[in-house]
Chain A
């Protein structure tokens, strides 16, 4: 069963507007971590933001914020004031458990295109 689901294969946003990328997850663990990575066309995986399952506040990092709704098992990424350089593939990922190896399970990704 898919553990991380990103239902938006592609998204378009106008420059300077905000955009929300959806991510839902499935786990029976009480302790887990949720990550968002950006992958531009050059291929590297760039860490954006992290949310721990016990964190009560939504994580924020500059223009990135994570809308964490634990009961709904969703961890949507919000990018404010989109820039042309935000055009890339975005992956949501989960790490189950606190110290169970720590491997990441990725969603299918969402390709974001920012229009001028």
Chain B
């Protein structure tokens, strides 16, 4: 079965650089979520999209932006990177109208800011 795809899997950037993370949800899933997991931390919700519209917003810095495109893939854009942005970034997708509302997680993108 198809799973959530994230790219790249690993990314190394310098401080003040920009990064773009991509997420391809499971086909026919209409909702995408982004989470950030710092070292030794639990995942923290950043932002979500339902049918290409932002549906919820969590503790996402103003330096970050995200969008969902017509093909339902999503991109998380991160600018002016800081050391503290080093984390594992997960994308998850869900088919909202399914009775069983499991979120399927991608493998994550590990971002290292030097």
Kindly identify, within residues 59 to 116 of chain A, every residue whose CB is under 8 Å from any CB belonging to chain B.
91, 95, 99, 101-109
Across chains A and B, the number of contacting residue pairs, with CB separation under 8 Å, is 59
For B, the interface residue count at a CB cutoff of 8 angstroms equals 26
Q: Which of A37, A99, A101 has the most CB of B within 10 A?
A: A101
Question: With A and B bound together, what is the CA distance between A50 and B104 in angstroms?
Answer: 12
- A104-B45 contact in complex given A43-B110, A45-B90, A99-B96, C-beta closer than 8 Å: yes
CB of A35 within 8 Å of the partner chain: yes
Kindly identify, within residues 75 to 102 of chain B, every residue whose CB is under 8 Å from any CB belonging to chain A.
88, 90, 92, 94, 96, 100-102
Specify the chain A residue showing the minimal Cβ separation from B44. Answer: A106
Interface of B is mostly: strand
Instruction: Name the A residues within 8 Å of B90 (CB-CB).
Output: 45
Question: With A and B bound together, what is the CA distance between A102 and B44 in angstroms?
Answer: 13
Q: Are A44 and B101 in contact (CB under 8 A)?
A: no
- A47-B102 contact in complex given A99-B96, A102-B33, C-beta closer than 8 Å: yes
Q: Are A103 and B33 in contact (CB under 8 A)?
A: yes
Question: With A and B bound together, what is the CA distance between A79 and B56 in angstroms?
Answer: 34
